[in-house]
Amino acid sequence: MLKELDVVVLTRDIQEQGLKKGLKGAIVHCYDDAQAFEVEFVAETGETQALLTLEPADIQLERDIIRGQVVAILDALPADLLAEVRDFSEFLQYQRLRKVG
């Protein structure tokens, strides 16, 4: 479920605005019906490059893209390295919880 302040990635070029597929933006408003979102794209200078109303098909959560990339990498690893990745993930989770608590 998409929500305000989520980082999203364009799933297609938007030529009218000069925006390319893969560009990151942030959701700044979700419409009640969840059929459209206001997404802000910021230039490297920090200025707003574009503020667009987009449909769910136009964007994808950056987190979901990363998750898919990680799964593809994990699927290619041998069992011994997969166990190391698990151990490292558990370590990162422990570190995060320690900072919070």
The pLDDT, as a whole number, for residue 80 is: 92
Q: Please report whether residue 83 resides in a domain.
A: no
Q: Please report whether residue 67 resides in a domain.
A: no
Give 64's pLDDT tier (boundaries 50, 70, 90).
Answer: very high
Q: Please report whether residue 94 resides in a domain.
A: no
Give 16's pLDDT tier (boundaries 50, 70, 90).
Answer: very high
d(CA 48, CA 79): 46
Number of domains in the chain: 1
Q: Please report whether residue 12 resides in a domain.
A: yes
Q: Please report whether residue 81 resides in a domain.
A: no
Beta-bridge partners for 50: 41
Token pair 């942030």 in the structure block, residue: 26
Residue 74 has pLDDT above 80, yes or no: yes
Give pLDDT tens digits for 76-101: 999 999 999 999 999 999 999 998 87
The pLDDT, as a whole number, for residue 31 is: 94
65 contacts 9 by C-beta, under 8 angstroms = yes
Residue 1 has pLDDT above 90, yes or no: no
41 contacts 25 by C-beta, under 8 angstroms = yes
Q: Please report whether residue 17 resides in a domain.
A: yes
Domain ranges, residue 23? 7-62
Q: Please report whether residue 48 resides in a domain.
A: yes
The CATH number given to whatever domain includes residue 28 is 2.30.30
pTM of this structure: 0.76
Give pLDDT tens digits for 23-52: 999 999 999 888 999 999 998 888 889 999
